[in-house]
Structure 1
């Protein structure tokens, strides 16, 4: 099969012929029809932040890439199933989170990380969903414990996770304020935000407003500044932060978490990679998507042969919604 292979950190991805994988017990071999790119991928592409290289099997690897084929999201058709798989059969249209391996024509995915593709989405639309929407779902429902009528602030509302966070918060009955740049104000409002803050004109941490939940995707503000916008029993859910070579965004996250025992507000780190119930979450997202309450926002779609260009564009940090790759 064809796959984009990473040989060393920072080196170009090379389109290469490699062996097609065979599904093991509990695995599903998926013929990939679409994938997406996201910050998760280029952290592994460059092996940054450097501190992440010593974080065990989930990290990028100490001296060389732990994973030769990147790609965390897939949508496609089941080609074959391994021993013990009961939910899927050849020809089924699926989407899910292999976490690695999606930048190839075929990938093996654990059965628990797959779900039937939403009927009202194309493969390209479905590939925009898994990691970003799952992250937003965990941040709001599980970590943020959002309730109807609450005030929710989404910092970084125009990116892949942010566009889903705005829509999911509205679907859960919250009143939503989105923070984004000037060129995405109208888009964020169009997906359901009740108010939109242009960060080039206003610092939301000094506006005097209080929120029950801050979903902090963009970072850029200290933990103390973020606590100023929270109600006394509010929650600060950290999804990401400004990228850097050595520590950020890990340092940004840990600094905020270090203060958690000392304050009344909850501080939580959303970690979709550690989630062990992806299929249930994907099924919940499918229901919301098929009902029309949530939909993926796609900035650009690239052909498979241009995955390096898609990664380069996404890395610039200006994408509104998701960047998708069609096979």
Structure 2
């Protein structure tokens, strides 16, 4: 492995991989991913857990694939044919495509991960009055930010014109269903920073959380009047909805809030085609953060995609905007819950996440 690195990189490592049935397991002799032109090697210092980390293997088993998407770490090697301003020793965070059948060694739950530097964000390190972002908080950002780029600004998503660099002249309402999720709290902040009017739904115990993240209204998602309340907030003209839950009940409620002339509905999970076709004036999209890598994803249905270089161009446009927000301390991370200090603790964390008992927090393992 020809690399620019002061360290001796091992050939094997500890990682969480899929077993023969797609379930996560500990592998203490997994291969360290080989650097390729256009990549750097990152030593992970913290990883965060997402529902996709256990859902992908269960639905689409890829035995041996490294699991995990959210990471923070330090660059330890740069391939000599990689053009990047990142250097060895720099702290970075972001998303990699774990459980990836096209590139099985791409996952985050490992001691070393291969990263495309243009898809990474620098972690603000503080000093001289500058912002300091702890690595365990930085690890929560990747999936949420990449998903929001696809959801908010892709032409197939909400297709919003406003962004934090170019705020809206007219503050349109946007519903964030599941506003207390990790993606939801980031979406709410990005919408507010873009000059828009986010209204969120969540449990009352998380009202304070979503309000501190910029929600102009927080509504109880099980309240019988919630649809009418959203309509009233939007003056009956809601056109943009982000569904961070993505089940049949959330989708039905979201569709009911959209105004008579239709609009855009983005979900993070596949929902019933029958429902999606119930209103032809509503354009629906499943937003997948890994589309921004621009590469083919060999998964069935809506979870797969062909190579799309234009998605990488979208990331290149918005990641610098997000980097600026982080550098200025203008973007707050989701509350975290630490679940251990070893990669093996990821397995217990995934069980806890799958139980449905986690609310308003993102599970993190600091290594």
Compute the TM-score of the two structures, normalised by the length of structure 2: 0.74
Q: Alignment partner of 1:226: what SS?
A: helix
Q: Alignment partner of 1:137: what SS?
A: helix
Alignment-derived partner of residue 359 in structure 2: 319
Picking from 103, 118, 127, the partner of 1:112 is 118
Distance 1:267 1:4 in 2: 34
Q: Structure 1 residue 102 and structure 2 residue 111: aligned?
A: no
Alignment-derived partner of residue 185 in structure 1: 207
Alignment-derived partner of residue 217 in structure 1: 244
Mapping of residues 198-237 of structure 1, within 5 Å: 198-207=220-229, 208-209=231-232, 210=236, 211-219=238-246, 220-221=248-249, 225-232=253-260, 235-237=263-265
Alignment-derived partner of residue 57 in structure 1: none
Q: Structure 1 residue 163 and structure 2 residue 178: aligned?
A: no
| 1:73-123 alpha-carbon deviations (Å, 9 max, x no partner) | 221111112242121222122122221221110011223322322343121
| 1:195-249 alpha-carbon deviations (Å, 9 max, x no partner) | 1111232453344433231111123437665333123555333222xxxxxxxx4
CA RMSD of aligned residues (A): 2.4
> Which consecutive residues of structure 1, in runs of 5 or more, have no partner in the other structure?
49-59, 241-248
Q: Alignment partner of 1:102: what SS?
A: coil
Alignment-derived partner of residue 145 in structure 1: 159
| 1:233-286 alpha-carbon deviations (Å, 9 max, x no partner) | 55333222xxxxxxxx4243x4454456x22x4333322221232454333222
Q: Alignment partner of 1:42: what SS?
A: helix
Distance 1:171 1:198 in 2: 24
Alignment-derived partner of residue 144 in structure 2: 132
Q: Structure 1 residue 75 and structure 2 residue 72: aligned?
A: yes
Query: Greater CA deviation, 137-146 or 190-199?
Result: 137-146
Query: Greater CA deviation, 201-210 or 102-111?
Result: 201-210
Contact 2:325 2:331 in 1 (8 A): yes
Contact 1:96 1:282 in 2 (8 A): no
Contact 1:160 1:320 in 2 (8 A): yes
Distance 1:292 1:227 in 2: 35
Question: 1:319: Cα distance to partner?
Answer: 2.8
Alignment-derived partner of residue 301 in structure 2: none
Distance 2:19 2:49 in 1: 18
Compute the TM-score of the two structures, normalised by the length of structure 1: 0.83
Alignment-derived partner of residue 2 in structure 1: 14
Distance 2:287 2:24 in 1: 30
Distance 1:171 1:225 in 2: 26
Higher RCO (CA 8 Å, separation ≥ 6 residues): 1
Distance 1:5 1:67, change over 3 A: closer
Distance 2:134 2:286 in 1: 32
Query: Greater CA deviation, 93-102 or 114-123?
Result: 114-123
Query: Greater CA deviation, 276-285 or 157-166?
Result: 276-285
Alignment-derived partner of residue 338 in structure 2: 301
Q: Alignment partner of 1:274: what SS?
A: helix
Distance 1:30 1:89, change over 3 A: same
